[in-house]
A and B are shown apart, each in its own frame.
Chain A
């Protein structure tokens, strides 16, 4: 099988690589680039731990090939903070005890930002519905929902 050359921008860095066509985005992020903030939970597009932003929307990096993203742009959890300053949504998860083990958290935060990009003042119901594709085995979701409500408020205020 022929390797293919891809160009992909991740967290504002351009990468040009030769890859095997069957390289999944999640494996590329974790194994080739060492960006291990994106987690692999189920590998079957159920849990959302592997979410990254593509065109401002959350997608599951376990279910897309790097080859499908040639000349496109991705943001991972590592790309959210501004130097040492956490993104307001990250901050809100910290302040509201929105995580316990933290395994689902990168996906939750990416999903929350994706929701904000579609709807900057989501209700509790809208948040819960949007998290259909994100699973958490620890928190019982209450504090996650609270974190997203407050994170969205912060993002609105910071413009």
Chain B
């Protein structure tokens, strides 16, 4: 890993100020992705700005209809938060399926979303759930947020502060994990608000996406008797882990499994 300057600001303003006065800075949350990329010399920031000492970024606020989760809230904290789990069942299960216990202790929901790894778990959930990503300057609607492989709508000097999630009637997530890394070969998230159903997919393409055909079908008819191959294999990844055809089939299979369980 190349060397860098290290900063540990205690407020958002201070963090942004340091950002704007550095050559090629990066924000650091749990470091589970960023430090690994730096070790591989995929990136070499001039300055690391550790945002974990900024207050209020790891709060959880639950009101009647929605949950606000601070960007620095760890996967582990979320997996054991009974209040969150009683409002949105299966969110804890998703968090508990990320990596391993040590990764979950350090890794954060904000870091995972900002990183926008196409095989990560949170992006599918955030896309399926009616949610907003709040930053130091604005609130971004979930469907606008993920713009490409490891790309989001965030500006370079923008910090995610929290995520607002409207509490659904039903939510579930299921992934077919890569047995070595536990990242999703395919992951399917389903959220239901009244009759409005959204199916979102991770792992299958260069970016998490909403499966439109499945979402429309299930909004009309919430049953596991789904039409097959509504997601075309032509749009899906093909690699040593799975062919595009296999991934397309997994989307249907995981969707059916979720529907049968709920």
Residues of A within 8 A of B (CB): 1-2, 4, 20-22, 24, 43-46, 48, 51, 57-60, 63-65, 67-68, 70, 111, 114-115, 130, 132-134
Contacts of B82 in A (CB 8 A): none
Nearest B residue to A59 via CB reads B102
Whether B35 is near chain A, meaning CB under 8 Å from some CB there, is yes
Whether B1 is near chain A, meaning CB under 8 Å from some CB there, is yes
Q: Is the CB of B101 within 8 A of A58?
A: yes
Contacts of B103 in A (CB 8 A): 45, 60, 133
Q: For residue A139, give the distance in angstroms from its CB to the closest CB of chain B.
A: 18
Q: Is the CB of B105 within 8 A of A59?
A: yes
Q: Is the CB of A21 within 8 A of B4?
A: yes
A67 to B52, CA, bound (A): 12
Q: For residue B235, give the distance in angstroms from its CB to the closest CB of chain A.
A: 31
- For the complex of A and B, 9 pairs with smallest distance between CB atoms: A133-B100, A21-B6, A132-B100, A1-B3, A67-B6, A22-B3, A133-B102, A22-B1, A60-B102
A44-B100 in contact given A65-B31, A132-B182 (Cβ < 8 Å): no
Q: Is the CB of B106 within 8 A of A63?
A: yes
Query: Chain B: interface residue count, which band?
Result: 20 to 34
Q: Is the CB of B101 within 8 A of A45?
A: no
Q: For residue B22, give the distance in angstroms from its CB to the closest CB of chain A.
A: 12
Q: For residue A126, give the distance in angstroms from its CB to the closest CB of chain B.
A: 11
Whether B238 is near chain A, meaning CB under 8 Å from some CB there, is no
27 interchain pairs (CB within 8 A)?
A: A1-B3, A1-B5, A20-B3, A21-B5, A22-B3, A22-B4, A43-B39, A45-B36, A45-B102, A48-B102, A58-B102, A58-B105, A59-B106, A60-B102, A63-B32, A63-B35, A65-B35, A65-B48, A67-B48, A68-B31, A111-B101, A111-B102, A115-B101, A132-B101, A133-B99, A133-B101, A134-B100
Nearest B residue to A19 via CB reads B6
A94 to B28, CA, bound (A): 40
Among B32, B52, B100, the most chain A Cβ lie within 10 Å of the Cβ of B100
Q: Is the CB of B5 within 8 A of A68?
A: no
Contacts of A21 in B (CB 8 A): 3-6, 48
Residue interface bits B1-36, CB-to-A below 8 A is 1, else 0: 111111010000000000000000000100110011
A46 to B4, CA, bound (A): 25
Whether B151 is near chain A, meaning CB under 8 Å from some CB there, is no
A43 to B1, CA, bound (A): 12
Contacts of A44 in B (CB 8 A): 36, 39
Q: Is the CB of A1 within 8 A of B4?
A: yes
Whether B158 is near chain A, meaning CB under 8 Å from some CB there, is no
A63-B31 in contact given A43-B39, A130-B101 (Cβ < 8 Å): yes
Q: Is the CB of B35 within 8 A of A64?
A: yes
Among B31, B52, B106, the most chain A Cβ lie within 10 Å of the Cβ of B106
Q: For residue B127, give the distance in angstroms from its CB to the closest CB of chain A.
A: 26
Whether B252 is near chain A, meaning CB under 8 Å from some CB there, is no
Q: Is the CB of A2 within 8 A of B5?
A: yes
Among A21, A48, A114, the most chain B Cβ lie within 10 Å of the Cβ of A21
A52 to B4, CA, bound (A): 25
Nearest B residue to A70 via CB reads B8
Contacts of A2 in B (CB 8 A): 5
